[in-house]
Homo-oligomer: A and B are copies of this chain.
């Protein structure tokens, strides 16, 4: 059971922000803060091979002044079926256009549905009606649960699924501000809001805190910094990976 909530200033509204520790969700947290929300971050230990990202999530929450950050354990690895949770190989050195076709093996079945469901439960306990998620339909068009139709369907579900909505106390909104932004646009927006991307983690297959430089997430991230004309602060395993 959570302890008492920190007091809020007069008209701040609470929001639940899904925070992975990656570049996208860090930017979303900064955006929610900038909109004046008191931000409660939710991160998940779900059996991901890149569990190091949880350290980044805690650091990002602190650096950006979130009200709190919680880590929820939910064992998606028990199901298997994804390169991110099972002993399947993470694809390397794919061209960005090859990432656009089909559902990638790094897709974790129903992951965003599960994460938003848990965010919804937390929002209901907090009395919050705003959920923020860093879903992006441009770079990750192969992930079914990063599309606008998915966000809309979840918002509709939230408003029939909960006691808070049923009792008329409010209307849930799922904010996905990155949905139609390119990686470069996301980085530029985050830099303008003071996000330090050096403390974020994107790599699917890291060695400690070092990024592999060759998985889809590393390639999209590096291309994003290049296109945004922002120096890439990522620490890669190999020098040539950071070129």
> Residue A1 at the B interface, CB < 8 A?
yes
Are A81's CB and B118's CB within 8 A? Answer: no
Query: Which one of A28-36, A57-65, A92-100, A150-158 is at the B interface?
Result: A150-158
Total identical chains: 2
Interface residues of A in 139-160 (CB under 8 A from B): 144-145, 147, 149-150, 153-154, 156-158, 160
Q: Known contacts A2-B78, A161-B150, A163-B144: does B120 contact A113 (CB below 8 Å)? A: yes
> Residue A167 at the B interface, CB < 8 A?
yes
CA distance A121 to B78 in the complex (A): 10
Which chain B positions have C-beta within 8 A of A109? Answer: 120-122, 124-125, 162-163
Selected contact of A75 from candidates B72, B80, B108, CB within 8 Å = B72
> Residue A242 at the B interface, CB < 8 A?
no
From residue A169, how far is it (CB to closest CB) to chain B in Å? Answer: 10
Selected contact of A73 from candidates B75, B118, B124, CB within 8 Å = B75
Which chain B positions have C-beta within 8 A of A163? Answer: 103, 107, 109, 144
* Additional A-B contacts beyond A74-B118, A79-B121, A111-B121 (13; CB < 8 A): A70-B78, A72-B74, A72-B75, A72-B78, A73-B73, A79-B125, A109-B122, A109-B124, A109-B163, A110-B124, A112-B161, A113-B121, A113-B158
